[in-house]
Amino acid sequence: QVQVQESGPGLVKPSETLSLTCTVSGGSISTYYWSWIRQPPGKGLEWIAFIYYSGTNYNPSLNSRVTISVDTSKNQVSLKLRSVTAADTAVYYCARDSEMAFDYWGQGTLVTVSS
């Protein structure tokens, strides 16, 4: 059974870089696409980016500030979001992207942007 776990700081200062890690167990990370998705408190879901064996794609609204990467040796996917503001406060989810849907999700991690 695939399990997905997000980790990272729960508090980030404005203008700094948000860094999160997604650790996958129960399956190889290299055979699937993986996405980051976020959800501001009380609001809807927003896809951020995905990564696959031969590349990445980003939400155009975040493209200039986001980097997604993978470490196959650790079975981990990482997210970096630069120059954060209060609008980036959200629960951040990592999910397996089967190219048909997000079928396995982590429980999410709340990141608050505040000084």
Partner 1 sequence: DIQMTQSPSTLSASVGDRVTITCRASQSISNWLAWYQQKPGKAPKLLIYKASSLESGVPSRFSGSGSGTEFTLTISSLQPEDFATYYCQQYNSDSRTFGQGTKLEIK
Q: Is 99 in the site for partner 1 (CB under 8 A)?
A: yes
Closer residue to partner 1 in complex, CB, 16/67: 67
Residues numbered 7 to 46 that lie near partner 1 (CB under 8 A) are 35, 44-46
- The answer to whether residues 83 and 28 touch, using CB atoms and an 8 Å cutoff, is no
Q: Is 92 in the site for partner 1 (CB under 8 A)?
A: no
Q: Is 52 in the site for partner 1 (CB under 8 A)?
A: no
Structure tokens at 20: 């999160």
Question: Which of 40, 47, 75, 82 touches partner 1 by CB under 8 A?
Answer: 47
- Residue 65 phi/psi, 5-degree rounding, is -115, -5
Question: Which of 76, 77, 92, 97 touches partner 1 by CB under 8 A?
Answer: 97
Question: Based on the number of CB atoms within 10 Å of its own CB, is 93 exposed (0-12), middle (13-18) or buried (19 or more)?
Answer: buried
Q: In angstroms, give the least distance from the CB of 29 to partner 1.
A: 18
Q: Is 55 in the site for partner 1 (CB under 8 A)?
A: no
| Greatest Cα pair distance in the chain | 39
